[in-house]
Structure 1
Amino acid sequence: MPLAVYALAVGAFAICTTEFVIVGLLLNISKDFAISISASGMLVTAYAMGVVIGAPLLTPFVAGLPRKPVLIGLMGLYIVGNLACAVAPSYELLMVARIVSALVQASFFGLGAVVATQLVAPGKQASAVAAMFLGATLANVFGAPGGTLLGQAFGWRSTFIACSAIGLLAAIAITLIVPRVKTEKPKNIGAEFASLASPRVLKALLITILGFGGIFTALTYIAPLLTQVTGFPETAVSWLLLLFGVGMVVGNPIGGRLTDKSLRLGIVTTLSALTVTLVAIGAFATYQIPSVILVFLFGAAMFATIPPLQVQAMQAADEAPVLGSAFNIAAFNLANAGGAWLGGYALDQGVGLAGLPVLAAIVSAIGLGFAIVAKAGAATTTSIATPAE
């Protein structure tokens, strides 16, 4: 795999550290601002909605620009957003700062995934996407647990300062390593948006939203679940998140390899594994040893779904690959926002923490069912057209 793909992965690492580290800091933030856990959980929803907003707000305007400078500029905006998080004096301003830092994610991942596929042979494109998303995986192995430890030791604001520093490192890596690649000539934005409304693209986005939708119903509240239900001490949360991240490292390339063989195989297998794992987490929530194993499997199942769902969207939007890729990232985060909201709403309605993984499994099962009925990935290769100069 070209080194440039891993330079893109550094950017993915930075962005996803900011996205996921908040899960381990919810208890600290809720205490600092004297708010409920469900209210602090809305910071997850706010970030996800920032990604959803960023897809149509930024991507159409950067899709036709030289890709390397755009990727560097997006990292600059990311740095500004994280510094704003670090100095936010109130819960409301922290939420606004989270949205600002999230605006870049859909465009960076969408554009970066297309660039990654341009750097490899056609038969390796799903694996190239998986390699770029390895940065997101490693963010959960090192970034989120490390950020949680840092926040617990020096206050949660120090975590966002560290995220800004990682963003700077990513910008430098992209500047030095990523080559200039072919860029699509600007097209009619209206026509490209119209292509996203095709049944094929809408089906791909809906499968992403439904299939991935249950994950954050459970993941947003994984820290209180593990401490208040399973009985782990609060200090164990960072190590359990580390284990979750190790699972992601294992699951991500598995999803990529399955998708290189068959897109349909990748979609159905990974969503099935995710649904079964979520049911098991709810069933064994009061048992520590099974919960440790299931935290690992949860991470593996979660990130195994990303390569097939992302490749499906990129293929479906072959007339506007950058927009399709970015909008699928937005679809992931719309699923995240909806899942986090659903989890908080369920808690407010009296559903126990142990019930959230089961609720999450129901949502993902609906996505799996729709993928099967809609014949997602049927008779499809994983080759993605490379844009012309």
Structure 2
Amino acid sequence: MTQATLSADTTIRPVAAWGAVLSMTLCVALLIASEFMPISLLTPMAQGLGATEGQTGQAISISGLFAIAASLLVTTSAGRVNRKWVLAAMTALMLLSLVLVAAAPSFDVLMIGRALLGVCVGGFWALATAVIMRLVPEAEVPRALALMFGGQPIAAAFAAPAGSYLGGLLGWREVFWALTPLVALNLIWHVVALPSLPARQQQDFRAMFSLLKRPYFLMGLIASMLSWGSAFTMFTYLRPFLERVTGVNVTLLSILLLALGCAGFVGTWASGRFVKGEVARLLKLPALVMGSCPLGLLVLGASPIAAGLILMLWGAMNTAMSVIWMTWMAQNADDAPEAAGSLMVAAIQASILLGAVVDGWLLDGISIQATFIGSAILAGAAVILVGNGQKLLKPQ
């Protein structure tokens, strides 16, 4: 990069930095809402499109397949494009996706809309951390990252319950239409607030392959996939379980999902306070706790109170899981953080996709209980693979 470019970056940062960070925070919240709000609308969406709940759950999860590809390809295929416009393009794709889903006349159009969202999800997360590091001085990067990731519990707390309640009141299509003006405003905010971010270095696939050749990193990547796969195997089909087994109506369902989302703030606070230093001893905690939740629901899920407490535990650990595993990545792939970040995003999205697809078959072919047993099995495999965590650490 030339001295003139560096000077331009230095000049722009103090003016636009925090407005740009806030625009990315809103984008995170809208991305999470767009990706996971359909889970709270699974039943009415299936009815409206003339499909089974299992098929609709798989269609919702198709975004994961495209997110995998985007997370690996965006930094290479768009390697020389100004990062400001890449992020703006990802947000525009989110807007188009919402319009297609809201207006979907058929199952196939729903699939196309979710595929476009997947490209947005994978591309945004592959670039987000690197962009944040360019928006603020080095000393402010942790605070900026914390602010950006704060969009996750906000969306988790309000998207699912609001989607469930408004879907019952107005209809599931209206919920997606309601998101479109917010995403349009976020797109405008990106264009205004983000400074010019010329590409500094094109991502090399060789760095990713080099990381995969390291046994400790590959083992950790697989363990993280199992952990996320367990979590979202249960979460994707949570509404059918609560309706069929717990016997909730739309109002109580919204309350339970709100409790789950609000618990995420506790997980964010706790992980920020206690996840410090070497995290080996914490790596199996998410799978251990979250794998116990579907078993707890199978035993106690008929009680709304018991179900609510279990969901709050799941919600708190869900947000802590991201901090634990991303800290592990930062500590054990510090020589190739961009390559590691792309691989982690791809792995997480792959686990969400595979978990939802397999459990869609279990739901349609066997029962809702079978999907929760599958979630617990994935978590158990993660706990066994992690062990005491030492074999997932970079050799000293």
* TM more than 0.5: yes
Residue identity in the other structure for 1:85: V
| Partner residue of 2:66 out of 50, 72, 76 | 50
In the other structure, the counterpart of 1:282 is 298
| Partner residue of 1:247 out of 240, 260, 263 | 263
| Partner residue of 2:38 out of 10, 19, 22 | 22
In the other structure, the counterpart of 1:198 is 213
In the other structure, the counterpart of 2:360 is 344
1:327-371 deviation per Cα after TM superposition (whole angstroms, max 9, x unaligned): 312211111112112322222342x32443343122112112212
Closer/same/farther in 2, CA of residues 20 and 286 from structure 1, 3 Å limit: same
In the other structure, the counterpart of 2:7 is none
| Partner residue of 1:364 out of 379, 382, 396 | 379
Per the alignment, in what secondary structure is the counterpart of residue 214 of structure 1? helix
In the other structure, the counterpart of 2:177 is 161
Closer/same/farther in 2, CA of residues 132 and 273 from structure 1, 3 Å limit: farther
- Distance across 1 between alignment mates of 2:260 and 2:246: 16
* Mapped contact 2:80–2:198 kept (Cα < 8 A): no
- Distance across 2 between alignment mates of 1:219 and 1:272: 16
* Mapped contact 2:363–2:370 kept (Cα < 8 A): no
- Distance across 2 between alignment mates of 1:5 and 1:84: 28
1:27-81 deviation per Cα after TM superposition (whole angstroms, max 9, x unaligned): 1111112221111111232122221222233232235544333222211121112
- Distance across 1 between alignment mates of 2:151 and 2:173: 23
* Mapped contact 1:262–1:380 kept (Cα < 8 A): no
Closer/same/farther in 2, CA of residues 141 and 91 from structure 1, 3 Å limit: same
In the other structure, the counterpart of 2:13 is none
* Mapped contact 1:266–1:305 kept (Cα < 8 A): no
Q: What is the 5 A alignment of 1:89-108?
A: 89-108=105-124
- Deviation, 1:120, is 6.6
Mean CA deviation greater in 213-222 or 319-328: 319-328
CA RMSD of aligned residues (A): 2.9
* Bigger Rg, which one: 2
Q: What is the 5 A alignment of 1:1-389?
A: 4-63=20-79, 65-117=81-133, 119=136, 125=142, 129-178=145-194, 184-186=200-202, 189-199=204-214, 200-350=216-366, 352-372=367-387, 375=390, 378=393
Specify every segment of 5 or more residues in structure 2 that has no aligned partner in the other structure, as ranges: 1-16
Closer/same/farther in 2, CA of residues 319 and 167 from structure 1, 3 Å limit: farther
- Distance across 1 between alignment mates of 2:202 and 2:61: 33
1:121-177 deviation per Cα after TM superposition (whole angstroms, max 9, x unaligned): 57974x754542321221121223223333333322222222322222333343444
* Mapped contact 1:42–1:341 kept (Cα < 8 A): yes
Mean CA deviation greater in 111-120 or 164-173: 111-120
- Deviation, 1:230, is 0.8
* Mapped contact 2:290–2:379 kept (Cα < 8 A): yes
* Mapped contact 2:231–2:291 kept (Cα < 8 A): no
Residue identity in the other structure for 2:296: A
Closer/same/farther in 2, CA of residues 40 and 253 from structure 1, 3 Å limit: same
TM-score (norm 2): 0.85
- Deviation, 1:98, is 0.6
- Distance across 1 between alignment mates of 2:313 and 2:172: 28
Closer/same/farther in 2, CA of residues 169 and 308 from structure 1, 3 Å limit: farther
Per the alignment, in what secondary structure is the counterpart of residue 305 of structure 1? helix
Closer/same/farther in 2, CA of residues 203 and 258 from structure 1, 3 Å limit: farther
Per the alignment, in what secondary structure is the counterpart of residue 105 of structure 2? coil
- Distance across 2 between alignment mates of 1:380 and 1:140: 37
- Deviation, 1:82, is 1.5
Residue identity in the other structure for 2:210: S
Residue identity in the other structure for 1:360: S
Residue identity in the other structure for 1:330: A
- Distance across 2 between alignment mates of 1:247 and 1:275: 17
TM-score (norm 1): 0.86
Closer/same/farther in 2, CA of residues 165 and 123 from structure 1, 3 Å limit: closer
- Distance across 1 between alignment mates of 2:139 and 2:296: 38
- Distance across 1 between alignment mates of 2:74 and 2:65: 14
